[in-house]
């Protein structure tokens, strides 16, 4: 009686169906409880064995995600102590060389976090290192996406979302950099103030409203704090969620390789392998950040002291991700400012704003531009090797050169002192690098790509040199070539190939200007190209007799037990 009753309801209600809740003890009971209230079993069924491809470069976005989680955790701890107020107080904490000094409550509480809360300094350093890592990993992630063409249809919109996250992350970074109200961040805000004032017509008012009066005012820290801990993180979290939803909808891209096609995903299931790896990876990222925070000082606000408009430190720089903007300001030559009657037009300040704006908009729009050039409306789930898209790779190299020129300009003074150069020369060299460098980088990168493609083609057709010299019966010496096997060769021959758009009149016999433009851009993109090896070519290269020496070599090679070559 007692043994049969528990089984009766299940078997009578749904005969033949296995009820997880009745097996597996406590875990089963909890699962059953949850599923009956959330339909969670459907989610597990849908996603539990979803395949995720394995490659180190696919982890970069995760680094960004995990450092953001670390930022949220450490940042929440900091908010318990931080006071976003510019009210003047007298410092009475533990750091001797600042005792008795007047400073804002923000600076005072930042110092208290550092010196009077156990683990407070550790958390500050975790927060700051994680922030630097967050943006650096976003940049590296974006570069991976760009150079492998992962932004192509259907992922253009996710590129836009990722790009917005990058911009928001910089905003988060800068607002956070300003909060302690130390000398470094105060001078950073002063530069922002100057930058805003340089905007024609409305600049003076933007600065006046933002600072709540004249610089520095008593408002700015509180306002930045609201942005830093409320508005910006809320948008970031929402966009991250959307970003990940799209990753699930699109399924992850994969690198070309044997067995991988545009219509499949090859990899490991989320449960259990991927969950173990990705879950473990969170702890690894957190651990590395923690190590950096434990051993390396970041932003020693106690050295900088409270903000005061008069002093400044040598080597006043923004955090690395704002470096490109600071560098742009430094590279402008003297004299780029004009007065127009009763108004002043500061191109020396406004031009960097405009150029950087255009630069990041260009980054934002690139997927749409390339889609327009190729006219390719297919879905692309197989990534490109960078060499197989030479013009795209070259544009990327040019963009990196431009960015790095600006970025290094932000440390022109440190480059000067550490490489024993005059800072004027450093600036001139970087002006050249930023303006001319991208063209040189474009040219070099494109040639390297084409050369690598040629090499790939050569190897795919004729194998690679083995270094063994063989004397033929006729007395001739030849070098034995090792043929690739089909798996190795596949990596070299499977890629997309485009050719320039040929102008043709439309139905009414006219050629539109937009078509001409598109044809010109398409020519620029694709006029130098190396087509993938075709089956006919491969057969021709391998056929005996009609291809001269190579045929002989291969025959010899096979006879001598070299790598087998497979003909398709």
Partner 1 sequence: MSSAAQKKSRRRSTRTGRRHPLATVALIAIGLLFTGGAYALFNSTSSGTEAVAASQDQVDRGSKLFSANCATCHGMNLQGTSAGPSLLGVGAAAVDFQVGTGRMPLQNTGPQAPEKPAQFTTEDTAALAAYVASIAPGPGLPEAEYLDGGGDATHGAELFRINCAMCHNVAGAGGALTEGKYAPSLTGVSAKHIYEAMVTGPQNMPVFNDANLTPEDKRDIITSLKYLEDNPSPGGIELGNLGPVAEGLFLWIFGLGTIVALTVWLTARSN
Partner 2 sequence: MADERGREMAADISGTELVPTATSHGDGAPVGTAVVSRDIIENPGLPSHRQRVTDVDPKSERRASRIVTALFYLSVVGSIGAIVSYFAVPIVPDDPASVRLNTLFLGSFIALSLLTIGIGAVHWGKALMMDHEGVDVRHPIRGTAATRARAIEIFDQANKESGFGRRSLIRGSLIGALAIFPLPAIFFFRDLAPIGNNPAELLSHTMWKEGTRLTRDPTGIPIKASDVTIGSVFHVIPEGLEDAEDLLEQKAKAAVLLMRLKPEDLNPSPEKVGWAYDGIVAYSKICTHVGCPVALYEQQTHHLLCPCHQSQFDITQEAKVIFGPANRPLPQLPIAVDSEGYLVAQSDFHEPVGPSFWERRSDYDNA
Q: Report the distance separating Cα 163 and Cα 159, nearest Å.
A: 6
Which residues on adjacent β-strands are paired with residue 273? none
Q: Which of 323, 320, 286 is nearest to 73 (CA)?
A: 286
Whole-number Å distance between alpha carbons of 568 and 540: 12
Q: Binding string to partner 1 for residues 60 to 89, with x set by CB under 8 A, is what?
A: x--x--------------------------
Give all strands (DSSP E) within 320-436, no chain letters: 338-340, 343-345
What is the 8-class DSSP label of residue 19?
-
Interior CA angle at 540 toward 538 and 544, to 5°?
A: 115
Of 83, 108, 110, 125, the residue at the interface with partner 1 (CB under 8 A) is 125
Would you say 59 and 137 are in contact if contact means Cβ atoms under 8 Å apart? Answer: no
**Contacts to partner 2 from residues 317-356, by CB under 8 A:** 326, 329-337, 339, 341-346, 348-349
Positive or negative torsion for Cα 5, 6, 11, 12:
positive
Q: Given the complex with partner 2, which of 216 and 437 has the nearer CB atom? A: 216
Those residues with Cβ within 8 angstroms of residue 134's Cβ, 6 or more apart along the chain or in another chain: 64, 67, 68, 71, 169, 173
- Residue 119, interface with partner 1 (CB under 8 A)? no
Span of 29-37, 51-59, 81-89, 196-204 interacting with partner 1 by CB under 8 A: 51-59
The 10 Å Cβ neighbour count of residue 6 is 9
Residue 307 CB, nearest distance to partner 1 (Å)?
11
The footprint of partner 2 on this chain (CB under 8 A) covers a number of residues equal to: 153
Positive or negative, the Cα torsion across 509, 513, 514, 515? Answer: positive
Residue selected from 255, 282, 359, 464 as contacting partner 2 according to rule CB under 8 A: 282
Take residue 511 and report the two structure tokens written for it. 């050629």
Question: Scanning residues 345 to 374, which ones bind partner 1 (CB under 8 A)?
Answer: none
Q: Which of residues 126-145 bind partner 1 (CB under 8 A)?
A: 129, 132-133, 136-137, 140
The pattern of x and - marking residues 478 through 517 that bind partner 2 according to CB under 8 A reads --------xx-xx--xx-xxxxxxx-x-------------
Indicate whether 211 belongs to the interface with partner 2 (CB under 8 A): yes
Indicate whether 300 belongs to the interface with partner 1 (CB under 8 A).
yes
Instruction: Compute the radius of gyration of the chain from its Cα atoms.
Output: 31
Query: Using CB under 8 A, which of the segments 24-32, 36-44, 76-84, 319-327 binds partner 1?
Result: 319-327
Contact between 232 and partner 2 per CB under 8 A: no
**Residue 410 vs 501, nearer CB to partner 1:** 410
Q: Candidates 18-26, 75-83, 261-269, 397-405: pick the segment binding partner 2 (CB under 8 A).
A: 261-269
Is there binding between residue 105 and partner 2 (CB under 8 A)? no
**Region of residue 447 (phi > 0: left; psi between -120 and 50: alpha; otherwise: beta):** alpha
**Contact yes or no for 175/256 (Cβ under 8 A):** no
Please select the residue that binds partner 2; options are 9, 24, 48, 309, rule is CB under 8 A. Answer: 309
Site for partner 1 contains 116 (CB under 8 A): no
Q: Which of 11, 264, 303, 543 contacts partner 2 by CB under 8 A?
A: 264
Q: Dihedral sign for Cα 472, 478, 479, 482, please.
A: negative
Cβ proximity to partner 2: between 176 and 216 the closer is 216
Q: Which stretch binds partner 1 (CB under 8 A): 146-154, 156-164, 191-199, 413-421?
A: 413-421
283 touches, from partner 2, partner 1, none (C-beta below 5 to 8 Å by class): partner 2
């Amino acid at each position: 009686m007692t043994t049969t009753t528990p089984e009766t309801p299940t078997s009578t209600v749904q005969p033949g169906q296995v009820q997880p809740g009745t097996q597996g003890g406590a875990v089963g009971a909890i699962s059953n409880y949850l599923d009956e209230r959330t339909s969670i079993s459907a989610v597990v069924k849908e996603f539990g064995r979803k395949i995720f491809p394995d490659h180190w470069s696919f982890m970069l976005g995760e680094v960004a995600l995990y450092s953001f989680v670390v930022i949220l955790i450490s940042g929440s701890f900091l908010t318990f102590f931080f006071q976003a107020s510019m009210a003047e107080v007298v410092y009475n904490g533990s750091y001797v060389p600042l005792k008795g000094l007047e400073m804002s409550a923000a600076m005072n509480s930042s110092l208290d976090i550092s010196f009077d809360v156990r683990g407070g300094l550790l958390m500050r350093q975790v927060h700051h290192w994680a922030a630097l890592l967050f943006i650096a990993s976003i940049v590296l992630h974006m570069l991976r996406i760009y150079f492998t063409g992962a932004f192509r249809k259907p992922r253009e919109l996710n590129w836009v979302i990722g790009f917005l996250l990058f911009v928001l992350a910089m905003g988060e970074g800068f607002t956070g950099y300003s909060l302690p109200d130390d000398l470094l961040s105060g001078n950073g805000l002063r530069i922002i103030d100057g930058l805003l004032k340089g905007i024609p017509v409305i600049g003076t008012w933007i600065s006046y409203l933002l600072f709540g009066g004249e610089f520095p005012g008593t408002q700015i820290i509180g306002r930045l704090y609201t942005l830093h801990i409320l508005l910006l993180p809320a948008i970031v979290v929402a966009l991250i969620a959307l970003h990940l939803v799209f990753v699930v909808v699109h399924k992850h891209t994969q690198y070309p390789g044997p067995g991988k096609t545009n219509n499949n995903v090859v990899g490991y299931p989320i449960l259990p392998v991927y969950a173990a790896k990705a879950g473990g990876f969170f702890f690894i990222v957190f651990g590395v950040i923690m190590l950096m925070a434990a051993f390396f000082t970041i932003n020693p606000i106690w050295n900088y002291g409270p903000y005061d408009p008069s002093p400044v430190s040598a080597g006043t720089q923004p955090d690395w991700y704002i470096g490109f903007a600071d560098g742009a300001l430094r590279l402008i030559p003297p004299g780029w400012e004009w007065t127009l009657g009763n108004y002043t037009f500061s191109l020396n300040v406004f031009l960097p704003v405009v150029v950087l704006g255009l630069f990041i908009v260009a980054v934002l729009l690139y997927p749409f531009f390339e889609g327009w050039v190729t006219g390719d409306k297919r879905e692309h789930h197989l990534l490109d090797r960078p060499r197989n898209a030479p013009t795209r790779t070259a544009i990327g190299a040019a963009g990196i050169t431009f960015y790095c020129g600006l970025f290094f300009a932000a440390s022109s003074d440190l480059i000067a002192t550490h490489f024993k150069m005059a800072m004027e020369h450093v600036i001139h060299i970087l002006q050249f690098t930023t303006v001319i460098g991208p063209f040189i980088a474009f040219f070099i990168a494109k040639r390297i790509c084409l050369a690598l493609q040629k090499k790939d083609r050569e190897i795919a057709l004729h194998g690679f040199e083995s270094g063994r010299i063989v004397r033929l019966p006729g007395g001739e010496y030849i070098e034995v070539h090792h043929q690739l096997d089909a798996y190795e060769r596949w990596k070299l021959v499977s890629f997309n190939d485009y050719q320039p758009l040929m102008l043709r009149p439309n139905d009414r016999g006219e050629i539109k200007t937009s078509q001409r433009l598109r044809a010109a851009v398409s020519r620029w993109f694709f006029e130098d190209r190396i087509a993938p090896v075709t089956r006919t070519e491969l057969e021709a290269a391998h056929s005996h007799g009609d291809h001269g020496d190579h045929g002989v070599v291969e025959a010899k090679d096979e006879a001598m037990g070299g790598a087998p070559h497979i003909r398709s």
